Amino acid sequence: MSAAKLDPIDRMILAELQADGRMTNVELAKRVGISAPPCLRRVRTLEDAGYIKGYHATVDSRKLGFEVQVFASVGLVSQAEADLVAFENRCRDWPLVRECHMLNGEIDFLLKCVAPDLSTFQSFLTGQLTSADNVASVKTSLVIRDAKDEPGVPFEVLEARMAAEA
């Protein structure tokens, strides 16, 4: 099921759940204008099709003591598929790495890392990341402040595209 195959009700369900994943099915059904049983069936179908990957609380990392956020640009020696997969698997094992994205261009991976302090991040950087197999280079950028941190997708852009195609 592609975005083009989703009907307006499915897209409204996704938009509402993206904004507030804690609402009850009854509240969701009310917001999208259908009754609760078909709403629940649609949600289950969207989950089964992979449109809904999970439900999460957004926690404040700084309030929890993770004062340091760093983006690390990683270059690898080899970009053979087995080496890329091995690096991705290693990233999954590192708790400080919260996101790992393979990129096209000068760098191979961009990692988003959090740590309680600079010394913890530095220990990770020198003791694990830069010394990992196949890592050729690491450049880091310390986040000073967040101007925008909005997960998900802009449903209003999707709706405008769908309206233009109709």
37-46 per-position pLDDT tens digit: 999 999 999 9
Token digits of residue 23: 């609402």
pLDDT in tens, 98-128: 999 999 999 999 999 999 999 999 999 999 9
How far apart are alpha carbons 94 and 132 in whole angstroms?
11
CA distances from residue 115 to 30, 46, 93 in whole angstroms, order as listed: 41, 35, 15
Mean pLDDT of the chain: 94
- Percentage above 90 pLDDT, the chain: 85
Token digits of residue 39: 């709403």
Question: Which one-letter amino acid corresponds to residue 139?
Answer: K
On the 0-12 / 13-18 / 19+ scale of CB atoms within 10 A, 13 is: buried
Is the separation of the CB atoms in 111 and 100 below 8 Å?
yes
Residue 132, C-beta contacts closer than 8 angstroms, at least 6 positions apart: 87, 90
Domains of the chain: 3-57 (1.10.10.10), 68-142 (3.30.70.920)
pLDDT in tens, 23-41: 999 999 999 999 999 999 9
Question: What per-residue confidence (pLDDT) applies to 160?
Answer: 85
**pTM of the predicted model, to two decimals?**
0.85
